[in-house]
Amino acid sequence: MKSYFLVLIAACLVVTGCVTPTKRAPKVDSISAEIEAKKQRQLVIENQVEMSRRLVRITYPLVLENADLCGENTRHIVGASYWNTNAFKEEWRETVQSLYGLTDLLQVSNVIEGSPADIAGLHQGDVLVSVNDRTPSSGENAAEQFSETLNELTQSGDDITFKVNRRGKEITIPVAPVKVCDFTVNIKEDDTINAYADGKQMIFTTGMMDFARTDQELALVVAHELAHNSEEHIKAQTTNAMIGGLFGLIIDVAAAYGGVNTQGTFTDIGMRAGAGAYSVDFERNADYVGLYYMSRAGYEIDGAANFWRRMSLRNEKSISMTTTHPSNAERFVGIEKSIEEIQSKQLAGIVLIPESIEKEEITEAIVSTEGVDVIEESASDNEETMSVAQEDIEVEEKTQSDPVTSFFKKLFKRSDKQGESNESSEEQ
């Protein structure tokens, strides 16, 4: 007890001996501070909702107009999304209630312009009563459960019937779903300028969303990631990792027979080397195919290459440095050449389909390959990702609910059950 008082006395002496401010700042009362806090919460929510809506708006024409190039990776959607207060953490519910009038009942959070839902007359703010006479649940996990129901009902592509409550009046709205590429989009709260694909979805950091200041720039990035998924680059990368790991395993086994325990070192090295094989070529391919996707979706491609000049202003090393991605200078020139090819086809009235590599070119590429770059394996089941830039990343679960209900984990109460994967790589 005596020692406790001695410590307390010493602490008091330290505090009283510290230098105090010499200028008098205005006093801020707690009520004024809380009023400002509410305003800032509103600004945060509004910014994040607008960010998610922008991403969905840019993505929709790309996945719609290129569905025939996505093979079996397609699904049917109506172009609307849904939410309620339970999608948010407790401390944010008052804010979303005041901003959007949310309750525990599901309501339409977004309708993509030009989508079936938009054409049919579904409105943001409509409260869901039923879809094909199925009543959606309310409260916790309502959006996820409704998404599963909607996936089931739209699978065939047949028309579905919404019943909604709009300002106290029940309205029946038939909607005809459309086929799109089955790759969803998501946003990761991260200031790093990056975007990546995991074979099922496309993830964009908040840093990338802020950096891509025009619709053309964001469409370029989305189309690039869509190409990674539709061209199955991640699947190819995983296969290459397995092949590399097999060769490494042979060395580990041989070493074990010689009495040396390598602890799987060569298997690990082989998998990393295999995963990095042709990574630069995959990126070139995604740039090339992505431009076709942009043009087919109606986006202007002239000047799209300037995105990489702006990227070099943020990281001058990437002007000439080539690791797992081509240099920014090479990407600029490659995109310009791809634009010339696309525009010449348009003038000639040729259908815009990316050119396939001939067998002779594939053989030549294999013979001329010099080394590989090492990419970190995914932390979850060796799953790989392909990124437009390269940073540590985190994969979020694919969902058909409104993107805002799965963005920004700090805001939302709903816990994510998805596995996370990480990739270590260089900046753009």
Distance CA 145, CA 152 (A): 11
What is the mean predicted confidence (pLDDT) over 366-394? 37
Helix or strand (DSSP H, E) at 62: helix 30-65
Distance CA 412, CA 141 (A): 12
Token digits of residue 229: 């998924």
Distance CA 21, CA 30 (A): 21
Between 53 and 231, the more confident residue is: 53
CB within 8 Å of 132: residues ≥ 6 apart? 153, 160, 161
Please name the amino acid found at residue 19: V
Tell me how many degrees the CA angle 142-411-96 measures, rounded to the nearest 5: 65
- Give Cα 406 distance to the centre of its chain: 11
The answer to whether residue 259 scores a pLDDT higher than 80 is no
Exposed (0-12), middle (13-18) or buried (19+): which is 282, by Cβ within 10 Å?
Answer: buried
Nearest to 283 by CA among 356, 386, 181: 386
What is the mean predicted confidence (pLDDT) over 45-68? 95
What is the mean predicted confidence (pLDDT) over 392-415? 38
Please name the amino acid found at residue 1: M
Report whether 129 contacts 165 (CB < 8 A): yes
The answer to whether residue 404 scores a pLDDT higher than 50 is no
The answer to whether residue 83 scores a pLDDT higher than 70 is yes
**Domains, the chain, ordered by start:** 74-181 (2.30.42.10), 214-398 (no CATH)
In the chain, pLDDT over 70 holds for what percent of residues?
67
> What Å distances lie between residue 18 and 8, 13, 26, 213, CA to CA?
16, 9, 22, 48
Q: Which of 190-199, 234-243, 413-422 has the highest mean pLDDT?
A: 190-199
Q: In the prediction, which pLDDT does 397 show?
A: 33
The string of pLDDT tens digits covering residues 124-144 is 999 999 999 999 999 888 999
pLDDT tier, 318 (very low <50, low <70, confident <90, very high otherwise): confident
> What Å distances lie between residue 56 and 141, 204, 209, 218, 247, CA to CA?
22, 12, 12, 11, 43
Q: Which residues of 223-240 are buried (b: 16+ CB within 10 A; e: fewer)?
A: bbbbbbbbbebbebbbeb
Q: In the prediction, which pLDDT does 257 show?
A: 54
The answer to whether residue 204 scores a pLDDT higher than 80 is yes
Report whether 400 contacts 150 (CB < 8 A): yes
pTM (predicted TM-score)? 0.75
Token digits of residue 72: 């079996």
